[in-house]
Copies of this chain bind each other. A is one copy, B any other.
Amino acid sequence: MANIAIMGFGTVGAGVAEVVRMNGASIAEKLGEEIQIKYILDIRDFSNSPYADKMIKDFAVIENDPEVDVVVETIGGAKVALDFTRRALQAGKHVVTSNKELVATHGRELLAIAKERNVNYLFEASVGGGIPVLRPLYQCLAANQIEEIAGILNGTTNYILTRMVKGGISFADALKEAQSKGYAEADPTADVEGIDACRKICILSNLAWGREVAPEKVATEGISSIHLRDVDIAASAGYRIKLLGRAFRLPDGRQTAYVAPHLVPESCPIATVDDVFNGIMIRGNAVGDVMFYGRGAGDLPTASAVLGDVIDALQHRSKRRNLGWEESAEITDAGVLPMKWYLRGDFSASDAEAVCGGKVEVLADGAVITPELSSAEAKAAAEKLCAVAMLHVL
């Protein structure tokens, strides 16, 4: 019998309890022991919940109970969650979380405590919701040198972009629709401005290359200024606009990462990832491109990943998973990498070719894809052409 405590009984926390209820018997069969929820910590009132007898309000109960093997942190944010995670690890408990903000901003410290206390700190659910991606990255692909990661990492913005493409509606209307469906929060900033995607590309980068990338060092651009006109032009020309988090390791060992909307050619598997789904492409020097696809959020999918980690932690009780990242990575400005750009304005293709110094791909009247340029070169070209839209191209 293994005892777990859930901290934070919101969407994901309640999902974890529900999956234990649904699948407890089959989990016990695989694991060789039963998982029991001993406590649920939440300051709100759940006296009418079927879990009322497990509800507690004082973290010290969990901290001081030697019977608690694994603590599931689904509080979110980096305040209370940070304090409780530190203390739970210090108390020798394995901690499993879906909290990308905490992992991206304090993962290094928390992993160091976990190492010192010989316990696991696992966070598969922090990237891609239910999609298995972190463990495949650090374990199955461990024989590779990872060269690049590119992912649709945020379901809310992908839903909005999909509605703009398929429904022909504006960003503002698509956002309202996402809010009414519960896919976007009342304050959608973290999703819409790419902050959530930024945290996730940092976590992926940290695991891929073992060095911490601070989210504030990653150039991050959201989707709020995307025009329907560019979505339409892209679609007619065989491209989809997607918000991508990207991270690279250059052959000389430099690292870079950024978040921005991209035109993605339809032939690329990531282009067909629609609605609230996520898709993460990883390129390794032996395996080539692999992609992982599925629901990037939601109660049960995220709980699936959390409980996968709980099972893994219990299977690695004595010999912890050697997981972590240490010194900070130096981040090269991604703008120096030569890339193709989408430009739209009141210019002709030959104007564009003269300014860009090379052949352009014409998508529509006044809309082109440039040859490979650094971001400074592309910005200079956009200025000369009086372009009104400028976007990355994958």
Give the interface of A toward B (CB within 8 A).
15, 19, 22-23, 26-27, 29-32, 124, 130-132, 135-136, 139-145, 210, 269, 272-273, 284-295, 298, 300-301, 303-308, 310-312, 315, 318-319, 322
Cβ of A124 and Cβ of B140 under 8 Å apart?
Answer: yes
**CB-CB under 8 A for A286 and B140, given A291-B294, A293-B291, A319-B319:** no
Cβ of A301 and Cβ of B285 under 8 Å apart?
Answer: no
Q: List 13 A-B contacts (CB under 8 A).
A: A19-B143, A22-B285, A23-B286, A132-B290, A136-B140, A140-B308, A142-B311, A143-B306, A286-B300, A286-B303, A291-B291, A318-B319, A319-B319
Partner of A136, one of B23, B136, B273, B291: B136
Cβ of B301 and Cβ of A288 under 8 Å apart?
Answer: yes
Which B residues are in CB contact (< 8 Å) with A30? 142
Which B residues are in CB contact (< 8 Å) with A318? 319
Cβ of A139 and Cβ of B135 under 8 Å apart?
Answer: yes
Give Cα A141 to B145, complex, Å.
25
Cβ of A287 and Cβ of B304 under 8 Å apart?
Answer: yes
Cβ of A287 and Cβ of B291 under 8 Å apart?
Answer: no
Give Cα A292 to B55, complex, Å.
38
Which B residues are in CB contact (< 8 Å) with A322? 32, 315
**CB-CB under 8 A for A132 and B143, given A287-B304, A293-B269:** no
Which B residues are in CB contact (< 8 Å) with A301? 286-288
Task: Report how many copies the assembly holds.
Answer: 2
Give A213 Cβ to nearest chain B Cβ, in Å.
18
Cβ of A308 and Cβ of B19 under 8 Å apart?
Answer: no
Task: Report the nearest B residue to A312, measured CB to CB.
Answer: B139
Cβ of B23 and Cβ of A143 under 8 Å apart?
Answer: yes
Give A12 Cβ to nearest chain B Cβ, in Å.
12
Cβ of A143 and Cβ of B27 under 8 Å apart?
Answer: yes
Give A150 Cβ to nearest chain B Cβ, in Å.
13
Give A240 Cβ to nearest chain B Cβ, in Å.
12
Which B residues are in CB contact (< 8 Å) with A319? 318-319
Give Cα A222 to B52, complex, Å.
56
Give Cα A315 to B315, complex, Å.
13
Give Cα A307 to B286, complex, Å.
10
Give A21 Cβ to nearest chain B Cβ, in Å.
11
**CB-CB under 8 A for A132 and B142, given A286-B304, A288-B295, A304-B284:** no
Which B residues are in CB contact (< 8 Å) with A132? 132, 136, 139-141, 290
Which B residues are in CB contact (< 8 Å) with A298? 288
Task: Report the nearest B residue to A315, measured CB to CB.
Answer: B322
Give A114 Cβ to nearest chain B Cβ, in Å.
17
Task: Report the nearest B residue to A311, measured CB to CB.
Answer: B142
Cβ of B23 and Cβ of A285 under 8 Å apart?
Answer: yes
Which B residues are in CB contact (< 8 Å) with A294? 287-291
Give Cα A384 to B119, complex, Å.
66
Q: Which of A22, A29, A291, A295 has the most CB of B within 10 A?
A: A291
